[in-house]
Structure 1
Amino acid sequence: METLHLVLNAVTVIFIAVTMFAAGLGATVSALHGVFTNVPLLVLALIANIVVVPLLGWGIGALLSLPAASFVALILVASSPGGPFGAKLAMVQGGDVVSGAAMQVLLASVGSITFAPTVNGLLTAADLGANVSLDVGALVRTVALLQLVPFAVGLLLRRYADATARSWYPSAAAVSNVTFLIVLAGMLLGNWQAVVALLGSLALLAGFLLSALSFAAGTLLATGPPVQRTTMGGVASVRNAGPALAAIGLAFNDQPAILGALAAILLSGLAAALPIASFLSSRREEPVAAETEVRTHDRR
């Protein structure tokens, strides 16, 4: 099992780095500038991810009267924005990948700073205790190394070696897709006991509801065309497991019950977000297919 975890961790690192690299290859400086100068979009995304989603986690936990371990795990997940699956969901739904990747990196960086105080405040409000303290510098360095650097390298290639970037993009996207499937399978295989143990509880439902409602909140609290808004919804629906795992190790002594609940909540969250992204993708493909058919008919 230890070997499986090591392999899964390695593949996860590859998945995050390659996904961000592919997003950079598909981006342009002008498009990125448009995202970071769109103040209403930035402010609304920060409100959705830093304020609304954590409050949703607290509210869902209280509403479902979750056991302490599951409640703690739900708050940890909800308080940690900028999950690396955000850029992947943008690709899956055929959304605005540039905005999704850029916002994901920004939220992960900001979340490194806001995570601990947000968790402490919500744990206190839920009467679950509060003593979470993390190394902010280490979290920021992790975000920079795994997300920002690959994205920046891809972006620079696109700007200064456009032909190379365009030729590399299909391979990078393919590696991202394959490693994504391996990570999903590994998460299920490595945590199936924890998930099975929680089948009789409401933890899986809590994770599913958190992801679905976060998708809706992120979409509603966004500006721009529908493609951009639903991309922001996808970014909000998947959270960053890194700070949550670090908090469990430092503040909760790696309690198995909390670790198991965390795995179950993350998996059930993906079970909610992926079908939504796939549905959006199918809806966007239908008009394109219809338009192509009309053009073909007109030519005849």
Structure 2
Amino acid sequence: MPTLQLLFNAVTVIFIATTMFAAGLGATLAALRAVFANVLLVLLVLLANLIAIPLLGWGVAALFGLPSAAFIALLLIASSPGGPFGAKLGMVQNGDVAAGAAMQVLLAAIGSITFGPTVNVVLQAANVGGGVALDVPKLMLTVVILQLAPFAVGLIVRHYAPSTALSWHPAAAKTSNVTFLIVLAGMLLGNWRDVVALIGSLSLLAGFVFGGVAFALGTALATGPWTRRTTMGGVAAVRNAGPALAAVGIAFGNEPAILGALAAVLLSGLAAALPTAAVLSRRRATPPQEGRPSSQPLRQRR
């Protein structure tokens, strides 16, 4: 059993690091500057993801009367913005991919610093967690090393050796996707009894409602065309599992009940966000692609 736990932890580290490394390889300074120049959009996205959605998680957990483990799991997820699948939801819905990727990276970077204090405040205010307080400096150090450093390395490679970055990106993205599925499967299989026990507690429904409302909230608190606003909704709905997993390990000793609840909340949230993105995709005939114009301008240039 200790060997399996070590293997799970190793795969989790690989997932977090490769996800942020792939994000750095896929980003450009020009694209980041263009999105970040829209100050109102940035402020609204930060308001939604750093304040409104953590409060939403607390409200949903309290509304459904979740048991302690599921309550903690939902609060951890709600307080962790910048999930790597957020930008991918922009692709699924044929939205503003460049803005989605830029905001996901920004939220992951800022969230690595704000996650610990936010979770501490919400856990204490909600009076859950058995009085356990997160070791904020240790958690900050963990998420900074696993997220900010790999992203910075990827961004540097993209800036100074773009051909190398483009050749590395598919492998890094594939590794991120595969390890995410392994981590999710490990959480479910290793804690399946706890996941099954959540069915009667409405925890899965709470996660589904949280994902759907977070999508709507992220869309409402955004500016620009509808494609950009719904892309921000996808970024808001998909939270960052990395800091949440680190918090479970640091503050709760990888408690199986919380890990199982975390997996259940992540899955049910994706179950709400993915169909929404798919419906939006069917309604959009000409998907905007990052760095590639539409077919009509291409024919005109020819």
Say whether the fold is shared (TM-score over 0.5). yes
- Measured in 2, the distance between the counterparts of 1:218 and 1:280 equals 15
The residue correspondences of 1:1-300 to structure 2 (distance < 5 A) are 2-128=2-128, 131=131, 133-245=133-245, 247-248=247-248, 256-284=256-284, 286-287=285-286
Identity %: 68
Change in CA separation of 1:124 and 1:17 when aligned onto 2, cut-off 3 Å: closer
- Does the 8 Å contact 2:192/2:260 carry over to 1? no
Contact 2:117 2:136 in 1 (8 A): no
Pairwise CA distance, 1:94: 4.6
Letter in 2 for 1:276: T
For 1:251 and 1:166, locate their aligned partners in 2 and report how far apart those are by CA, in whole Å.
38
Normalising by structure 2, we get a TM-score of 0.78
Gaps of 5+ in 1: none
Please list the CA deviations of residues 177-208 of structure 1 after superposition, one character each: whole Å capped at 9, or x if unmatched: 43344344333323322211111111111111
Give the residue type in structure 1 aligned to 2:286. P
Q: Which residue of 1 aligns with 2:290?
A: none
Q: Number of residue pairs matched?
A: 293
CA distance in 1, matches of 2:153, 2:98: 14
Q: CA deviation at 1:4?
A: 4.1
Q: Structure 1 residue 258: deviation in Å?
A: 3.7
Amino acid at match of 1:218: G
Q: For 1:23, give the aligned amino acid.
A: A
2: CA distance, partners of 1:241 / 1:155: 22
Q: Aligned partners of 2:7, 2:129: CA distance in 1, in Å?
A: 35
Moved more, 181-190 or 52-61: 181-190
Shift of 1:38: 2.2
Compared CA separation, residues 278 and 4, structure 1 to 2 (3 A): farther
- Cα RMSD over matched residues? 3.4
Moved more, 248-257 or 148-157: 248-257
Cα deviation, residue 233, structure 1: 1.8
Q: Do the aligned partners of 1:134 and 1:246 also contact (CA within 8 Å) in 2?
A: no
The answer to whether the Cα contact below 8 Å between 1:25 and 1:166 also exists between their aligned partners in 2 is yes
Deviates more, 1:58-67 or 1:270-279: 270-279
Q: TM-score, normalised by structure 1?
A: 0.79
Is the alpha carbon distance of 1:131 and 1:235 closer, same or farther for their aligned partners in structure 2, counting shifts above 3 Å?
farther
Q: Is the 8 A contact 1:96 1:231 kept in 2?
A: yes
2:104 alignment partner, SS class: helix
Determine the C-alpha separation between the residues in 2 that align with 1:99 and 1:51: 20
Structure 1 pair 22–129 and aligned structure 2 pair: CA distance change class (3 A): closer
CA distance in 1, matches of 2:133, 2:109: 16
